[in-house]
Every structure is written in C-alpha cells, then in structure tokens.
C-alpha cells in the first residue's frame, strides 16, 4: 500500500511553461485534505489556490479553487452532492456520478485515485473523474485508467493521452512527462 501521510508536501515545476505548484496532504477528523497553490504564465500570470476534501476512503467530497487568471478573479466551490456534482451551486450533468475530482492545472489530484485504487491487481484500473478543464468553466466526465508497472511507476491513460508517471511512496506524482517534475518532503 502507499505510504506517506499527513504533513506530506509535494513540489512541482512545470515543464511545458514557466510555473510551479506546491501541495500539502493533511489528515482531518473526517478524512483527507489537499491544499496547494499553482502559479504559471499563460497570457499573464495565473495564481490559483485549491483545497480538495476527501472522505477516509479517498472519495472526493468538495473543493474550493480561488485566485486570479488574466486579471480576473476566480472563485469556484465544487461539491459532490446526492444529485451529482455542483459548481457554484449549478449542477454539472457532464460530470455524472464520478468519485474523483481532477483539477487540470495540478498533478496533485492524481493522488486521489492512486490512494484509493488497488493497483497491484492485473491490468489497468478504470476511474471516471469529474474533470475541471483548463478553461475552469464547467466539470465534465474524464475516463481514465491507472496501471502499476513498478513500485514507483504508473501507466496513466485518458482519451487521447497516455503517460508513464513516476510516483512517490505517498501517491504524489513526481514526474509527469512533458508537464511536471517534482519531489516530495515527508513530515
């Protein structure tokens, strides 16, 4: 099983443009929380903070994304409700009944599926994530698979994309080819 726990901090630098991300994994009374900040250049500076809350079994409950992008304020409240995913109280029907949340601007949310899935079994494990695409305007379903090929290597695939990820003991991705590279500090 994946090690690392509360107080674990991951750091990344973007490989596709100037930018960084830093995320801390924390234990709460009711599960887990990822808190982080991603900053990058894209037609001006983008600076987003995020907090993702999960139950004890790594199922996403809610998230907040705040900051600025292109001089505009961003304020997103994402919630998994009985009727489906809500973003700023608006139902996101394209996200369906997905368990995971995938924030497109950070590798931090890959940890959620990696912590929950039993990746020691045969073949790829399917995951459907409520994906927040780069435009940050809606949630949609993103079908993904994860397959362990070594203790620290995972094959990841989604429609039109695949990559071999390097993964730390904690479940944080440390190398995402062409996109991110980083390291993890254990508490």
**Distance of alpha carbon 115 from alpha carbon 1, whole angstroms:** 8
Around Cβ 18, how many Cβ atoms within 10 Å? 11
The pLDDT assigned to 119 comes to 62
Residue 123 tokens read as: 């073949």
Digit-coded pLDDT (tens) for 123-151: 789 999 999 999 999 999 999 999 988 88
**Distance of alpha carbon 55 from alpha carbon 75, whole angstroms:** 23
pLDDT band at 1 (very low <50, low <70, confident <90, very high): very low
Digit-coded pLDDT (tens) for 90-119: 999 999 889 999 999 999 999 999 998 866
Around Cβ 111, how many Cβ atoms within 10 Å? 28
The pLDDT assigned to 120 comes to 65
- Record the pTM: 0.93
Q: Exposed, middle or buried, 73 (CB in 10 Å: 0-12/13-18/19+)?
A: exposed
**Distance of alpha carbon 97 from alpha carbon 130, whole angstroms:** 8
**Distance of alpha carbon 80 from alpha carbon 60, whole angstroms:** 7
Digit-coded pLDDT (tens) for 27-71: 999 999 999 999 999 888 999 999 999 999 999 999 999 999 988
Domain boundaries, the chain: 8-185
């Amino acid at each position: 099983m994946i090690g690392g726990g509360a107080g674990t901090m991951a750091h990344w630098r973007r490989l596709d443009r100037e930018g960084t991300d830093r995320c801390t994994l924390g234990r709460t009374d009711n599960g887990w929380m990822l808190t982080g900040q991603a900053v990058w250049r894209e037609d001006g500076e983008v600076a987003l903070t995020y907090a993702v809350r999960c139950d004890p079994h790594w199922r996403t409950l809610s998230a907040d994304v705040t900051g600025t992008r292109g001089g505009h304020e961003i304020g997103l409240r994402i919630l998994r409700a009985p009727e489906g995913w809500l973003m700023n109280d608006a139902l996101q029907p394209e996200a369906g009944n997905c368990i995971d949340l995938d924030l497109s601007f950070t590798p931090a949310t890959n940890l959620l599926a990696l912590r929950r899935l039993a990746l020691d079994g045969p073949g790829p494990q399917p995951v459907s994530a409520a994906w927040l695409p780069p435009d940050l305007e809606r949630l949609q379903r993103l079908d993904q698979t994860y397959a362990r090929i070594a203790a620290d290597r995972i094959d990841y695939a989604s429609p039109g994309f695949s990559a071999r990820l390097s993964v730390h003991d904690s479940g944080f991705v440390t190398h995402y080819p062409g996109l991110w590279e980083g390291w993890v500090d254990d508490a």
